Amino acid sequence: MTDKNKQPAPGWVGGFEQSNQLFSYPNPNLSSLPMLDNMANIDKLQRQQQVLWPEFSWETRKGEKDPKRCYQMFAPDISRLGYTDEGRVFSIICPQQGAYSPQFGALNVEVTVTGQRGWVNEDTKEMAADMEVVGKIWFSPSAKQNKWVKILWDKFADSKLPFPSSKANAIMVTTHNPGNPEQGIFPLIKKQSKNFPIPDFAKHEDEAWDVSHLDVQIGPITKTGNKTVDEFNQLFLDIFNLATGNMLQNGNILSWNVWFTAPDLVDKVEWRNHAEYWRDSIDTGHGSPDGPGTTAKYFDGTPFSAWDSLLHTEEEKVIKSLESWAETKAESLIETRADAEEAMIKHFIEKHGL
């Protein structure tokens, strides 16, 4: 525990939550507020709460009797909540993360906030916010050193097709409020989630100022209109999910307990540059600038194994891929996760004549 984590900076005024009786708990209704562009009001930010412990959780085997829920803390200070002295939220920085694929190398994933609104009350240690986000996945530049990435990268360039080699051409994964695909807005609300058991290693009561949570359901990828690109993007997402235990699987619910440090003052220049600072650090292979998060693990502390998950949930998909280019049984060819990924990539290349 540090003083920074527990002692708020001076200057808190408050009052925004109380400006509308519908804003308050037990059922905060923020619909009277417009959904704001996340970077349009940085000049209004005065105070912030940093997410020093971003604890994520998701099911690696969705729909099964034992869904094998996974828990992982992303890198510290990866996200922040920014607001005025009165408590009106004007910006929310959401996480970026790296993942590794044996055949594709380093992958980037970012949760991009496309709209937000909300309030903070430092006196009660409460907050309520609504968010709209989209998931974005693309190759780290270092991935081009990988044989398969270079082959595909060059072939896409020759065909003048967009390749997810930058955030601008990233694969876009849609999200929505759990159980309501037509509602792209979902709430960030106080306390930890009560939708699943939380292990002790994912709790930070003794260190944090307060905690809130959100749940977002993953939707399909956004289509580009080009069949080859859309099928490759789906392949890329499938391989990303192999690496992360179906974190962004269509229909899965990604839950997030966000543990905050005490409120402090905003450096507006640093806030504007924060996302690029993180992205540059990940892209250049330096990892998270404020240190790594934890490895994904199950409730009992057992580390998540991408290979075990593949054998259980993706075997049928891999066998289907293999059937188009090999007559040998899949079991005799697939001995590692790298073999499985290579099979899926070869199938894609042959199918599209690349």
- Whole-angstrom Cα distance, residue 95 to residue 108? 11
Q: Tell me what pLDDT residue 115 has.
A: 94
Mean pLDDT across 163-170: 82
Q: Does residue 280 fall inside a structural domain?
A: yes
Could you tell me what percent of the chain has a pLDDT over 90?
47
144-163: average pLDDT: 76
CA-CA distance, 153 to 64, in Å (whole number)? 37
Answer whether residue 58 is part of any domain. yes
Positive/negative CA dihedral, 174, 176, 179, 182: negative
CB 136 within 8 A of CB 170: yes
- Does 144 score more than 70 pLDDT? no
Interatomic CA distance for residues 309 and 297, integer angstroms? 12
The pLDDT tens digits of the residues spanning 307-316 come to 565 555 444 5
Q: Is the pLDDT of residue 319 over 80?
A: no
Check: pTM over 0.85? Answer yes or no: no
Number of domains in the chain: 1
Overall average pLDDT of the 40-54 stretch: 94
pLDDT score, position 196 = 95
Look at residue 341 and tell me if it is in a domain. no
Interhelix angle 306-313/315-323, rounded to 10 degrees, is 70
Mean pLDDT of all residues in 264-272:
90
Please state the φ and ψ torsions of residue 169, each to the nearest 5 degrees.
Answer: -110, 20
pLDDT of 323 over the 50 cut:
no
Report, as an integer, the average pLDDT of 115-138: 94
| 187: confidence class by pLDDT, cuts 50, 70, 90 | very high
Asked whether residue 349 is assigned to any structural domain, the reply reads no
- Residue 311: the pLDDT is 52
Residue with tokens 């619910």: 253
Q: Which of 69-83, 87-101, 231-245, 287-301 has the lowest mean pLDDT?
A: 287-301
Helix, strand, coil tally for the chain in percent (to 5): 30, 30, 40
Q: What is the bridge-based pairing of β-strands 210-221 and 297-298? A: unpaired
- Distance in angstroms (rounded) separating the CA atoms of residues 18 and 22: 9
The answer to whether position 320 is within a domain reads no
Assigned domain for 343 exists = no
Residue 153 lies in a domain: yes
- On the question of pLDDT at 194 being above 90, the answer is yes
Of 231, 199, 236, 237, which is closest to residue 218 (Cα–Cα)? Answer: 237
Residue 313 lies in a domain: no
Whole domain around residue 288: which residue ranges? 3-294
Tell me what pLDDT residue 31 has. Answer: 97
Residue 94 pLDDT grade (very low, low, confident, very high; cuts 50, 70, 90): confident
